[in-house]
Amino acid sequence: MSLAGKVAVVTGSGQGLGLAYAQELAAQGAAVVINDVNAEVANAAVASIIDAGGKAVAVVAAVGSTETAKKLVDTAVSEFGRLDIMVTNAGILRDTVLWKMSDDDFDAVINVHLKGTFTCVREAAIYMRENEIPGRIICIGSPTGQRGNFGQTNYAAAKAGIVGMVRTWALELKKAGITVNAVIPVAATAMTATVPYFAAAIEADAKGETMPDFFRKTLGFGTSGDVAPLVAFLASDEAAAFTGQAIGIGGDRLQVYTHPDAAVTEYHEGGWSFGDLVAAFAGPLAGSAQSVGERMPPLPEDLVREPAK
């Protein structure tokens, strides 16, 4: 087992993608600290790992505060003797369009996703640096953070911010031998389960069948089990050369995202006046605007499902 003797914290790991990450880490030999806000859910997740022969304990707490971050790290050390891996997965959704989004909607999502990632990674980094542990930090991003998505101002801001922090932390922690990467999962979740576009995939998965190739290959959309091995790989010694990366995975597809870079570059002697800009965007920069949002191809007719009434 590639992670034998390692200890991991996985935030938001009571169910869904987080649970899949925790179970895969445990299957690879790591002892795992499960985290969820629901004690029953957290304890069930712990039981699933122990029943499979692994080691796990639960911390029931909302991610965001420094207090919770310290508790997660302290529990890993007190229960299992050390901390090698931090996976920041915890998150919530408060979706609505910009003009209807309240301060509370925005703050709640930023607090859990963005601040929660910051506080948990900070505590893990402090422990790893002080104890000279070449740790592994894996933060969970989203395609929404890469391209935007209608109705998700708060979520897009948080997920884009996470990837920005990952790149910064990779620089800051390199000397300590600590790697920091972002995983961009594309998988069936409670959110996608209600989207008609994905209905045929969700239907197949519920029946224990493989999702159609259109989803697994064309869209790179699959199950939580398709994503979990990447988290385990990035947590391993074999991934020591990878840091500061945003890596997408879903279904049969694996992607390494480019860092944002200029798509087109033009120069103008003496700088750019208003008139120069008008001319440039009508001339050499015409057609240079980049797309926004996910680009979803039309569903094949045989995969179209009628919305539930």
Rounded Cα distance, 70 and 229, in Å: 27
Q: How far is CA 307 from CA 139, 199, 267, in A?
A: 34, 9, 51
Residue 195 confidence (pLDDT): 85
Mean of pLDDT values over 101-124: 98
Band of the pLDDT at 309, cuts 50, 70, 90?
Answer: low
Residue 274 confidence (pLDDT): 97
Could you read off the pLDDT of 68-86 as tens digits, one per residue?
Answer: 999 999 999 999 999 999 9
Q: How far is CA 148 from CA 127, 151, 158, 219, 294, in A?
A: 34, 9, 11, 17, 7
Could you read off the pLDDT of 215-257 as tens digits, one per residue?
Answer: 999 999 999 999 999 999 999 999 999 999 999 999 999 999 9
Domain locations in the chain?
A: 7-187+223-256
Residue 189 confidence (pLDDT): 86
Q: How far is CA 90 from CA 21, 120, 186, in A?
A: 12, 10, 16
Q: Which amino acid is at 35?
A: N
Rounded Cα distance, 258 and 57, in Å: 37
Residue 286, pLDDT > 60, answer yes
CA angle 165, 167, 171 (to 5 degrees): 110
Class of residue 191 by CB neighbours under 10 A (exposed 0-12, middle 13-18, buried 19+): exposed
Mean of pLDDT values over 257-275: 95
Residue 307, pLDDT > 90, answer no
More confident residue, 197 or 308: 197
List Cβ neighbours of 167 (8 Å cut-off, separation of 6 or more). Answer: 244, 259
Mean of pLDDT values over 46-65: 98
Q: Which two tokens stand for residue 273?
A: 């006046």
Residue 127 confidence (pLDDT): 98
Residue 294, pLDDT > 90, answer no
Residue 306 confidence (pLDDT): 75
Mean of pLDDT values over 126-136: 98
Residue 56 confidence (pLDDT): 98
CA angle 151, 152, 155 (to 5 degrees): 170
Residue 58: which of 28, 18, 112 has the closest Cα? 18
Q: Secondary structure of 234-282 in the HEC alphabet?
A: HCCHHHCCCCCCEEEEECCEEEECCCCCCCCCCCCCCCCCHHHHHHHHH
Band of the pLDDT at 308, cuts 50, 70, 90?
Answer: low
Are 23 and 99 in contact by the 8 Å Cβ rule? The answer is no
Alpha helices in 88-246 (DSSP H): 103-109, 116-130, 143-147, 153-173, 199-206, 213, 224-234
Cα of 126 vs its chain's centroid, Å: 22
Are 9 and 42 in contact by the 8 Å Cβ rule? The answer is no
Could you read off the pLDDT of 139-198 as tens digits, one per residue?
Answer: 999 999 999 999 999 999 999 999 999 999 999 999 999 999 999 999 998 878 888 899
Residue 20 confidence (pLDDT): 98
Residue 37 confidence (pLDDT): 98
Mean of pLDDT values over 48-67: 98
CATH 3.40.640.10 fits 7-187+223-256, yes or no: no
* DSSP designation for 299: P
Range with top average pLDDT, 46-50, 187-191, 298-302: 46-50
Mean of pLDDT values over 115-122: 98
Residue 57 confidence (pLDDT): 98
> Which residues form the catalytic set?
155
